[in-house]
Amino acid sequence: MGSRPTALVLYNWRGQWPMRRWEHQRIFAWKSYFPGSVAFLNIGFPFNPTWITRLDPDLVMIDATALAARYTRIGLGGLRRAMDATPGRARRVAAPLDEFLGLQALRDLLVEARIDLLLTALEPALWDEVYPVDQRPYALRRFLTAYVDDRLMRRTSSDLAARPISVSYRAWETPAWLGEMGRLKREVGLRAQAWAQAGGHRADVAVDGQRRLVGEAWIRLLGASRAVVGVEGGSSLVDPKGDLPTSDPTSGRSAGWMPPSSAIVLAPGAEIRAMSPRHLEAVATRTFQVLVEGDYSGVLEAGVHYQPVRRDLSDIDAALDRSQDPQRAQAMVDRAYEEIVASGRYSWRAVVGDIARQVLA
């Protein structure tokens, strides 16, 4: 790469502070691990585009929050001003999340912004369907929704037998436009809570979004829990035209809600799915994971790194019972930690370095 390069990270944040830990890491990990100087610009507030031109970055990283600005006219205008001010020589990298929402607008924006590399959480088998070859003048690279930072890798964890909480979980009250995947996010928590109540176990479970944990609070809860339940992130609906009512978090919760005719309803097992950040955080804290069976971005292997349960949750009680076997559960979490966290394969240090080498070579 020659002399030390300069990177600019564009993000869009006007929400709750502090951020959830994984959101903060996704944006600011570049400061710690990029092999050069890094500047950050929050396009959610007024800015002078000429600052970007004067900075003359070698690489521009467009975070998922900046790409989500496409949902509003003002947000899209800010992102366009930033990209128009970016020198033509800069390499441009985009990392969207929620690729199932406003899909055509996202495709158009990636072309308009002259993206060189798209970092996608989608399974490679879906790439050509979601991003047709004749519509993508950019390369694709699989990118997890989160990675492990050095601080989390160094964190010490107590043995499972010494932890006071039997099972923990957090979920927001998911809208119907997430489809079956959204229903599962809520149901798995309710079933874990029922298991704890029936067996006299201590649980810390919330599925209404009212007891949201941010910053290090979620990590502390995992570190105090023997087990955590969960399911892959994703959606059973694809929104090509941006017709789903995503701007209203309470929308689509009535029993009779129907998706717009433009939405594509995916069959069970064929949804857009990916491992969520909390799954890696549970591995890093050596917490026993009871998860709805899935691919988990090819990182977590059922029966090796987590205890799988069927999609109908008919065996979740038996799976949670296994978390109470200290010897068996400890062996699984230790194996997951060594293979996924201690190996460094899924660290921010590794992935940021790889991306920099790929686009700046």
Q: What is the structure's pLDDT at 250?
A: 53
Rg (CA), the chain: 21
* Phi and psi torsions of 84, nearest 5°: -65, -30
Q: What is the structure's pLDDT at 106?
A: 93
Q: What is the structure's pLDDT at 279?
A: 97
Q: What is the structure's pLDDT at 327?
A: 94
Per-residue pLDDT tens over the stretch 244-287: 766 555 555 555 677 778 877 777 767 788 999 999 999 999 99
Q: What is the pTM of this model?
A: 0.90
- Tokens for 219, please give them: 């990590």
The strand pair at 203-206 and 225-230 is best described as unpaired
* Phi and psi torsions of 288, nearest 5°: -70, 125
- What is the mean predicted confidence (pLDDT) over 4-31? 91
* Alpha carbon 150 to its chain's center: 18
Q: Do the Cβ atoms of 248 and 254 come closer than 8 Å?
A: no
Q: Which letter does DSSP use for residue 71 in this model?
A: G
Distance CA 150, CA 210 (A): 30
- Tokens for 287, please give them: 């917490």
Q: Do the Cβ atoms of 94 and 42 come closer than 8 Å?
A: no
* Count of H-run helices and E-run strands, the chain: 13, 15
- Residue 120: CB atoms within 10 A of its CB come to 21
| pLDDT of 2 strictly over 60 | no
Distance CA 64, CA 281 (A): 20
| pLDDT of 149 strictly over 90 | yes
Place of tokens 């609906």: 237
The residue ranking higher by pLDDT, 51 or 268, is 51
